Amino acid sequence: MKRKVSRGKINSLNFIKRYLYFLGRIVKNIIQKQYSFFILILIGVTFFYFGLAWGKKSENPGEGPINSLTNFMGELVKPGELVKNANNNKPEKVDFDIFWKAWSNVEKKYIDQDELNSQDMVYGAIKGMVDSVGDPYTSYMNPKEARAFSSDMEGSFEGIGAELGMKDGILVVIAPINGMPAEKAGLRAGDRIIKINQEMTSDINIDEAVSKIRGPKGTEVILTVISQNAEESKEIKIIRDTIDLKSVSYEQKWGNIAYIRISSFSEDTASEFNKEITKVIADNNKGIVLDLRNNPGGFLNIAIEMASKFVSRGSVVVQEKHQNGTVQKFESLGGNVFSETPVVILINEGSASASEILAGALSDINGSKLIGQKSFGKGSVQELKEFSDGSSLKITIAEWLTPLGKSINKTGLEADIEVEVTEYEIKNKIDSQLNKALNEMSTQIKNK
């Protein structure tokens, strides 16, 4: 059975044949009669235009070769359509002429032309665009910065061992990591960093600050900080080291109380936690003190997996509220071995993000008491978009809500039992917050 072909397609095929025949004759005459260089240029432009239209039509997978060819030839006789379609992704009411004029002026007039790198200019333009939204957690990372960020999340890198954040436009320490150079040098949660190696931090974002503070093992960085309730700044010299995180530790305290410290929510945290669970159960503990102090957070899925050990299956652990008002609920995954075990949770101003999610879930669902100080209040959700050149975009897309719908962004979680830490206790290594948590848990066990 013969396939029907429309008259329009027959005409297009005839046009293609005539067009190719005409080009062939020109090329032959060029070879034999040495036509002018102008005609060579004309042919080159023709093939470029031909390829541009063909490339556009090849974006439509599923077209047969004949249909694709004849349809794309239709574009050749409507060049205005190519220009129109090229601008489809251009935002409305945005004048890009200013951008290209600025670009052109830099390319033509900048004094050190040898120092110009077009790709770096592109990265800088994107970074400036992203920074203009004014959100410290929305950032663009060039390939080098993206690799450094990835190594952080894997749990091993070289630096000082501290999580940084922004509060009211000021660079602050969310949490120094236990046992790492920052903590040993005296850096504390809540410290405001005003200088990095004598360079002011007022005009840099978090990723730039991290890049300046991080460095090879054995090198020194000097941070000028103002501690909470202090009026004068002080310099803290820190020798960088390899930061290899063990995110979960456990020991049994008096009265058969399990003390579990979680320092981050990295890729290995859930597996480390599962290993410690067997010890907690084997030691016949009757209650748990969960220490989330100075825990800057990490992966959402890890926080949900760990919360699932404490709450019944199907319980809403956290909610995500998006810009259009929709709310996505994340439920526990099961395996709730500690759902009947009393738990108290230690938090402070260094508890952020995923640690606030876990603390908020156990507080809302099980009524677990929060002891210590108000948490940091990092309740926004970032999505990481990786690009083909190795760069990436970290963009805030939503905010966290606790199971009962309370927002923690910029407000944090209030401690049910507040315990301030004094300078005397810090110097003498007295942990009054932990002592209060152990006493509270001992009371709960007796009253159970």
The answer to whether the CB of 304 falls within 8 A of the CB of 318 is: yes
Picking from 85, 124, 78, 442, the residue whose alpha carbon sits closest to that of residue 285 is 442
User: Given CA atoms 172, 175, 180, 183 in this order, what sign does their dihedral have?
Assistant: positive
Catalytic residues: 353, 364, 378
Residues 345/348/349/353 CA torsion (nearest 10 deg) = -20
Residues 280/435/442/287 CA torsion (nearest 10 deg) = -20
